[in-house]
Structure 1
């Protein structure tokens, strides 16, 4: 009994100490009741599995400490603490660890393996087959779980963290409480009512124009990316703004990652407010909202609707979700096996060549949504023989600008009616140069070809990705003779 009570107390005390190191910094002592209950659930489960009081203490503490460290690293690099939806990237970490390992400090990498081995050794050496500890652990876990469940049904569900406010909630209630409550809120979020597709074209309407949407990886304006550090402007973007329908800043919610947030908002037109707790990773629930998908809504206008991405389509589950959103054809890495690379990934030039050939050879206009890959991080020094990561990113950014130029030239010369939408998914996170900041916008531009449009020149504006979705629909709804 003594070991049981002492190990239980140590587990609670150390978990609270670890929680005080969470970033953003914890304020006050609110939320420690639910924190303690959650820790008891995990301690009890560990004790029920291992039968060792101190094994359960070490295992629970080690797991929670790892969660705190991971959250702090993410906050430093991306400006956002750990959220429940981050568990969805576990499979991606195993497939493409270089996307994530670059963010881990070298000192932590050195101690990571020994620390894991010590924990595993403790579990093996000090576990017990004596029934009493296993039963005690089961009782603790089930008891704490029942208290959490009862409080959720009677009190917390109606008013505890009712809307996502991640940083404020962590400062008040702590990381563990937010992870669990946000998970419950996310699971309880209802799916919206279906929306109808756009109607088929009427006899007095011209055929739908080509609709080409380019989501350019880590595309940002170099001139305002690093204060006090001059980088040459994107010449094609600046020049084409003068003849565009609309251009300006796209207020994306993520920094340095979370491509799928921008992608989903442009494809489905659902804002962060609309999504609520689903906004952290809207792809997790995309199949429930498939009618909002731009290709589904435009199915009557475009027989062929292509999603093009020269990287593993299993990433974010695109191989499954894009057909659900209405795309009829997926063009993935197998279609770019022999294509030119720029750095470690398929070049933007290769994508431009593919689109050029597609536009010139297809009989009917198509909807083509492209997600580029060339400028994906990490931007290690030496990439493309660059002197530092910022120079590598800048080289790729100008290649993205060249893609915009090549598409503009193709659409001008082909003589076919078309709309081109080009935007950045998020700003890059480049340690030592580009850090999380309140300003997270990326450039966007909308261009029209061989279709009568307003003569007034466009003025710069700031819109959200969901509003860009509405801009696209509006363009097509006014396509009349």
Structure 2
């Protein structure tokens, strides 16, 4: 086969496939703008990616038409997944989402239902059929290397066959080299991104948008100066810590600065060790001597991160008022309450989780805001757990699911927790639906507090619990006939069973709040609890029929009787509260509330990253 004939068999599928790849972007949600007005960098990356992967498909299949069809099929799959995600989660497919392909295999219950089991089966069967047809009907460009190596071919064919193979490899490498050159040229002047995924996809096009987010993953965001718990650690150092700093930097800052330089995942374990060592150093050096309450009897603290929790009565007027009776009672006694502006809609718990634990505004993270645990080493900072360890607390994180999910076995210790209890700590726990129940989480918290109570002279406890019961997909749950009347005052529109399933989980969350508060009240020591939702649930059919929430969840922080008596009259006033927020780099003021201070019963809307500091202020610890 001559060079001319070989190239002539390649240019048509390459060119037609390239044109179709641009055309397919028009079905993406949100739809990208015309390629002509995206910028030359976007065009070069699109053409470069298509060309390079076309060369790789030639290497794998040696069938140009079949290779082009494979690329188009994969592009269509990404676009279709992005469209589903746009409808359910209000954002398109982004580069960090590629890791969810492997997560779907590990945790099919969490992901597969949203794509649809039927769709997944049909797509798999369809691709299998296309693979068989393509391999059978389109002849390969050359003979198989396996046949020559094993001596199947006659001796006289070896030289000529080898020549054709080398020629084919050169052509394939040429496609890859041209594609790589185009990508390199575009990389010299990358277009800016806003990190508003929908806006960036519209502006940059589907492929360049993914490419730019991939590039941004290598950037370490400048979060140190915006980390409130670093500032608190610096501000509360004792003379012993200052004497040990040597070069004039606190141990936590020294340990974390520089973490995440270079590439990503293999630095995560090093970052984890460094941050934990920093927390230990600060805690040991301070001896836990600082106590704003003027006492060594620090309160036990519990934070309940409730899966998909929000007050559904705000959105669905027919929901019975008594559904959240404990929630209402505790809010009535709370030190602070309001709506929580969370960085997630329907899923992506770790976005809210990282914001609350770290106190860092997600807007400071760049592309890492979408999955803060994916490249955690690039933005590891002291957290509420780190800070409380410096006050002598034992810090425990509880999550009744697979501990390795979202890399929590590395990130949770890296954020300053002494102990991380995954589902292995719940061997015989009660389930409600497919997941470990909120009741079991309340029992685990009670057990931890009870064990600590029996320890004379024990450390105070900080427990951060991440619940799982209310995790979707809700449409996979069975709703009995007539069940909705237990939760709603009027019949629901057709197709709204999801909200009935949601309501019964919310009732269980309400019971969990009551149980944990009762446990804290039973202690002969101060105790406090903060409750909040990580995001609203995924219920697109319900929202279409009954109205959709505004995306905020609800929070409150509450003190038991012992702690309320201890902190009475000690909480920060308006001026001091505003000054503290200013020092920590937080926005001062009320989004929707009744004042700027931390008076008991205050109603105030907060962004998620300000919740931990507000909680500590409400408990008299700041």
Q: TM-score, normalised by structure 2?
A: 0.71
Could you tell me which of 192, 201, 205 is aligned with 1:174? Answer: 205
Matched, 1:464 2:554: no
Residue matched to 1:28: 34
Residues in 2 aligned to 1:305 and 1:186: alpha-carbon distance in whole angstroms: 30
Residue matched to 2:275: none
Matched, 1:9 2:97: no
Which shifted more, 398-407 or 426-435? 426-435
Q: 1:51 to 1:89 in 2, by over 3 A?
A: same
Post-superposition Cα deviations, 1:118-154, rounded to whole Å, max 9, x if no partner, equal 343256444444533432232122212222212212x
Residues in 2 aligned to 1:457 and 1:15: alpha-carbon distance in whole angstroms: 59
Residue matched to 2:216: 185
Q: TM-score, normalised by structure 1?
A: 0.91
Q: Are the counterparts in 2 of residues 343 and 384 from structure 1 also a CA contact under 8 Å?
A: no
In structure 1, list runs of 5 or more residues that go unmatched: none
Matched, 1:375 2:470: yes
Residue matched to 2:289: 201
Measured after TM superposition, the shift of residue 193 of structure 1 is 4.0
Residue matched to 1:165: 196
- SS of 1:368's partner is strand
Measured after TM superposition, the shift of residue 229 of structure 1 is 5.0
- SS of 1:282's partner is coil
Q: 1:256 to 1:201 in 2, by over 3 A?
A: same
Measured after TM superposition, the shift of residue 473 of structure 1 is 4.4
Measured after TM superposition, the shift of residue 382 of structure 1 is 4.8
Post-superposition Cα deviations, 1:389-410, rounded to whole Å, max 9, x if no partner, equal 2211110111101111111122
Which shifted more, 430-439 or 384-393? 430-439
Q: Are the counterparts in 1 of residues 521 and 527 from structure 2 also a CA contact under 8 Å?
A: no
Could you tell me which of 58, 70, 76 is aligned with 2:81? Answer: 70
Matched, 1:115 2:138: no
Residues in 2 aligned to 1:151 and 1:106: alpha-carbon distance in whole angstroms: 39
Post-superposition Cα deviations, 1:17-68, rounded to whole Å, max 9, x if no partner, equal 2111000123333336132232222222222333221122111111111111
- SS of 1:423's partner is strand
Residues in 2 aligned to 1:188 and 1:338: alpha-carbon distance in whole angstroms: 43
- SS of 1:432's partner is helix
Residues in 1 aligned to 2:75 and 2:549: alpha-carbon distance in whole angstroms: 29
Residues in 1 aligned to 2:367 and 2:82: alpha-carbon distance in whole angstroms: 18
Where do 1:412-427 residues align within 5 Å? 412-427=521-536
Residues in 2 aligned to 1:202 and 1:431: alpha-carbon distance in whole angstroms: 49
Q: 1:53 to 1:220 in 2, by over 3 A?
A: same
Residues in 2 aligned to 1:437 and 1:249: alpha-carbon distance in whole angstroms: 16
Q: 1:290 to 1:298 in 2, by over 3 A?
A: farther
Matched, 1:394 2:503: yes
Aligned length: 474
- The structure whose RCO (Cα within 8 Å, separation 6+) is larger is 1
Residue matched to 1:443: 554
- SS of 2:411's partner is helix
Whose radius of gyration is greater, 1 or 2?
Answer: 2
Could you tell me which of 50, 58, 63 is aligned with 1:47? Answer: 58
Measured after TM superposition, the shift of residue 111 of structure 1 is 2.5
Could you tell me which of 90, 94, 99 is aligned with 1:88? Answer: 99
Residue matched to 1:409: 518
- SS of 1:188's partner is coil
Residue matched to 1:453: 568
Measured after TM superposition, the shift of residue 11 of structure 1 is 1.0
Residues in 2 aligned to 1:206 and 1:7: alpha-carbon distance in whole angstroms: 75
Which shifted more, 428-437 or 37-46? 428-437
Q: Are the counterparts in 2 of residues 259 and 425 from structure 1 also a CA contact under 8 Å?
A: yes
Which shifted more, 55-64 or 181-190? 181-190
Measured after TM superposition, the shift of residue 303 of structure 1 is 4.4
Matched, 1:334 2:365: no
- SS of 1:72's partner is helix
